[in-house]
């Protein structure tokens, strides 16, 4: 599946591994929360990168202490209407200070990528290449934002009230 990182379609170096599949000997793998919980002692000893995939109804509370072990946290959108992964992403970035790759997977739309990025996502896995290529343009479609978020962009009000842009006559420029 096509992956967008840094506003480019890139080759995905991670492999999603179903619960029934054997783990490959090397290379980064993304596993489910259920597999992590069932095989944690074996997986900790694995000498290869490990990522975890959380469904939208699986909170991060169960993996908080294990976050440093994961090079990727993939948050699943079962439908584009399910907004729970947005909240999970923001919690991971702001409250739990997760700095590794945060990936949106599942039913994601090009219209959502900029908002996902604002919540902390930095990788986006699309079902087909055409959708991924069209989504790249969406990152820069909205210039002004009205609220602060995990991406730390300045809101329109902050920019408007910034006194460093004031002219000597007291008006803003």
pTM (global) more than 0.85:
no
* Residue 128 and residue 96 in contact, taking contact as beta carbons nearer than 8 Å: no
Q: Is 7 left (phi over 0), alpha (psi -120 to 50) or beta?
A: left
* Residue 74 and residue 49 in contact, taking contact as beta carbons nearer than 8 Å: no
* Residue 73 and residue 100 in contact, taking contact as beta carbons nearer than 8 Å: yes
pLDDT of residue 39 exceeding 80? yes
Q: How many CB atoms lie within 10 A of CB 153?
A: 15
Going from N- to C-terminal start, the domains of the chain cover 3-141, 143-173
Binning pLDDT at 50, 70 and 90, where does residue 171 land?
low
pLDDT of residue 168 exceeding 60? no
Looking at residue 123, its pLDDT comes to: 94
pLDDT of residue 172 exceeding 60? no
Fold adopted by 3-141: TIM Barrel (3.20.20)
pLDDT tens figures, 91-145: 999 999 999 999 999 988 888 888 888 889 999 998 776 677 778 877 777 666 6
Return the minimum-mean-pLDDT range out of 36-40, 44-48, 94-98, 165-169. Answer: 165-169
* Residue 37 and residue 44 in contact, taking contact as beta carbons nearer than 8 Å: no
CA 167 from centre of chain? 40
Which residues in the chain belong to E strands, given as ranges? 3-5, 8-10, 14-16, 28-32, 50-54, 70-77, 101-106, 123-125
3-class secondary-structure state, position 21 = coil
* Residue 114 and residue 145 in contact, taking contact as beta carbons nearer than 8 Å: no
pLDDT of residue 170 exceeding 60? no
């Amino acid at each position: 599946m096509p992956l967008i990182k840094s506003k480019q379609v890139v080759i995905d170096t991670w492999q999603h591994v179903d619960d029934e599949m054997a783990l490959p000997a090397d290379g980064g793998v993304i596993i489910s929360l259920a597999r992590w919980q069932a095989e944690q002692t074996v997986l900790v000893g694995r000498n290869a990168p490990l990522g975890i995939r959380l469904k939208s109804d699986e909170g991060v509370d169960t993996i908080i202490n294990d976050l440093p072990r994961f090079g990727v946290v993939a948050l699943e959108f079962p439908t584009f209407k399910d907004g729970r992964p947005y909240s999970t992403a923001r919690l991971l970035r702001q409250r739990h200070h997760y700095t590794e790759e945060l990936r949106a997977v599942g039913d994601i739309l090009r219209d959502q990528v900029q908002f996902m990025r604002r919540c902390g996502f930095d990788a986006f896995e699309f079902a087909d290449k055409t959708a991924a290529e069209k989504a790249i343009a969406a990152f820069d479609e909205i210039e002004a934002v009205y609220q602060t978020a995990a991406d730390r962009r300045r809101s329109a009000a902050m920019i408007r009230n910034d006194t460093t842009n004031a002219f000597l006559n007291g008006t803003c420029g």
